[in-house]
């Protein structure tokens, strides 16, 4: 079987569309014809060599498509099912068994080794040459790819796959951090640091929870305007030298009960802690590279403030993602306002727009359902 894949030939390189050979699905695997894939910061970290998988490689970890074929042990999916591919986990380690699959002990291997879940075989080849893939056990930048049944989620046929491709990582991470971790109550104050996909999804979830005020902070004014349209009651540009005082004032003087740090920037995490009310919590979801440190003034934690992080919204993908999709179908999570579509071949332009802040959620179109 052959696929068209956006292949990264070398670290820090440019993606090249190429034809690759796809392996047959193993017993627990699913062969998916990818219709659309979100692009996220983690794909850019991969491009720049921050993960172990070697080049040439196929990334992409927000795939949406149609099942072509299933392995003989797969009972939950069948050919023709519309699916999204999400965060992988092993299902057997202590964290998975405790219901916290996003902290799976085997996640580094499953996400970033370049190999399938057996740890030794590859999804793709080009002639005799290896192409490393199985990125998040999906490598959704290929038009035909292998996933595990465990990280493949059936979705309704009547929801456009090129919208659902925003959900597996970006929307899941922001909405999950609010719904599964922070759990705000109506009338609570909420601050979004960073209004990319993750920050906007968190903001929409905070609005659904009835938070008020909702304050959005970003360096891009056009993103702040979008945040207002999505439900932010106030916005502050992150370059404002009085940022902390201003956010505290807008949050009623006492400070904010909940902050989501979705910028992945040290100054944003520090500000997220400093604007908190007594007993408030700042949750870090922004994707920072290894070695990035944040100086905190120690006494800022003395007022009962908490700082914690979470990954992938701390969600159980097989139940939480269908819940989010149901909210989207009901018009309560207007994700279409974040998405901009690009042809598969325009992946380099899509990433450039994303990094320049011109696009909130870039979604590649690889085919039709
Ligand atoms: Zn596990
Ligand atoms: Zn991601």
Within 8 A by CB and 6+ apart from 121, the residues are 23, 26, 115
How far, in Å, from the CA of 59 to the mean position of ligand 2? 11
In this structure, what are the phi and psi dihedrals at residue 350, rounded to the nearest 5 degrees? -60, -45
| Ligand with the closest atom to the CA of 165 | 2
Looking at residue 357, its pLDDT comes to: 87
| Ligand with the closest atom to the CA of 100 | 1
How far, in Å, from the CA of 303 to the mean position of ligand 2? 33
How far, in Å, from the CA of 91 to the mean position of ligand 2? 20
Which residue is associated with the tokens 């690759």?
20
**Do the bridges between strand 190-193 and strand 214-218 make them parallel or antiparallel, or are there none, so unpaired?**
parallel
| Ligand with the closest atom to the CA of 138 | 2
| Ligand with the closest atom to the CA of 313 | 2
How far, in Å, from the CA of 180 to the mean position of ligand 1? 19
How far, in Å, from the CA of 42 to the mean position of ligand 2? 5
| Ligand with the closest atom to the CA of 169 | 2
- Cα angle value 211/215/221 (rounded, 5°): 145
| Ligand with the closest atom to the CA of 44 | 2
101: its two tokens: 């699959």
| Ligand with the closest atom to the CA of 85 | 2
What is the mean pLDDT for each group of 10 consecutive residues in the chain (369 residues)? 97 97 98 98 93 96 98 98 98 97 98 97 96 98 98 97 98 98 98 97 98 97 96 98 97 96 95 97 88 92 95 97 98 96 98 93 95
Could you list which residues have their CB under 5 Å from ion ligand 1? 89-90, 93, 96, 104
pLDDT digits (tens, 9 = 90+) for 230-277: 999 999 999 999 999 999 999 999 999 999 999 999 999 999 999 999
Looking at residue 288, its pLDDT comes to: 80
229: its two tokens: 């349209």
Could you list which residues have their CB under 5 Å from ion ligand 2? 40, 42, 169
CA neighbor of 188 nearest in space, from 214, 227, 224, 216: 214
CA distances 158 to 82, 110, 326, Å, are 9, 30, 12
Looking at residue 286, its pLDDT comes to: 80
| Ligand with the closest atom to the CA of 89 | 1
Looking at residue 289, its pLDDT comes to: 80
Report the predicted TM-score, pTM, of the whole model to 2 decimal places: 0.96
Within 8 A by CB and 6+ apart from 324, the residues are 167, 171, 172, 175, 333
Within 8 A by CB and 6+ apart from 112, the residues are 46, 51, 52, 53, 135
How far, in Å, from the CA of 273 to the mean position of ligand 1? 31
52: its two tokens: 């172990």
CA distances 281 to 178, 200, 301, 305, 308, Å, are 11, 18, 10, 6, 8
Q: What is the DSSP letter of 27?
A: T
Looking at residue 44, its pLDDT comes to: 95
Which residue is associated with the tokens 């006494």?
299
- Cα angle value 350/354/359 (rounded, 5°): 90
């Amino acid at each position: 079987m052959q696929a068209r894949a956006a292949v990264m030939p070398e670290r820090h390189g440019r993606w090249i569309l190429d034809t690759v050979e796809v392996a047959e699905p193993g017993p627990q695997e699913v062969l998916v014809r990818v219709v659309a894939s979100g692009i996220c910061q983690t794909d850019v970290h991969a491009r720049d060599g921050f993960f172990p998988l070697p080049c040439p490689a196929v990334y992409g970890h927000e795939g949406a498509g149609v099942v072509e074929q299933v392995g003989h042990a797969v009972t939950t999916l069948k050919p023709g099912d519309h699916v999204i591919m999400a965060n992988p986990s092993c299902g057997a380690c202590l964290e998975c068994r405790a219901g916290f699959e996003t902290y799976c002990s085997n996640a580094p291997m499953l996400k970033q080794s370049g190999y399938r879940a057996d740890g030794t075989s590859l999804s793709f080849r080009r002639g005799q040459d290896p192409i490393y893939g199985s990125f998040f056990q999906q490598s959704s930048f290929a038009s035909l790819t292998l996933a595990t049944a465990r990280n493949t989620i059936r979705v309704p046929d009547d929801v456009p796959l090129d919208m659902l491709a925003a959900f597996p990582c970006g929307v899941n991470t922001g909405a999950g951090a609010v719904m599964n971790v922070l759990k705000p109550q109506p009338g609570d104050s909420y601050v979004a640091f960073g209004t990319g996909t993750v920050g906007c999804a968190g903001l929409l979830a905070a609005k659904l929870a009835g938070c008020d005020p909702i304050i959005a902070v970003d360096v891009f004014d056009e993103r702040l305007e979008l945040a207002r349209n999505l439900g932010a009651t106030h916005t502050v540009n992150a370059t404002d030298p009085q940022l902390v005082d201003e956010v505290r004032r807008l949050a009623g003087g006492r400070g904010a009960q909940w902050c989501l740090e979705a910028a992945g920037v040290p100054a944003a995490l520090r500000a997220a802690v400093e604007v908190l009310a007594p007993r408030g919590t700042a949750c870090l979801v922004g994707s920072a590279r290894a070695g990035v440190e944040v100086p905190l003034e120690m006494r800022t934690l003395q007022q009962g403030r908490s700082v914690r992080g979470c990954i992938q919204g701390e969600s159980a993908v097989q139940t939480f993602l269908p819940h989010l999709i149901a909210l989207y179908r009901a018009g309560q999570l207007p994700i279409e306002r974040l998405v901009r579509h690009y042809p598969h071949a325009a992946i380099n332009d899509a990433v450039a727009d994303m990094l320049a802040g011109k696009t909130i959620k870039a979604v590649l179109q690889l085919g039709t359902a």
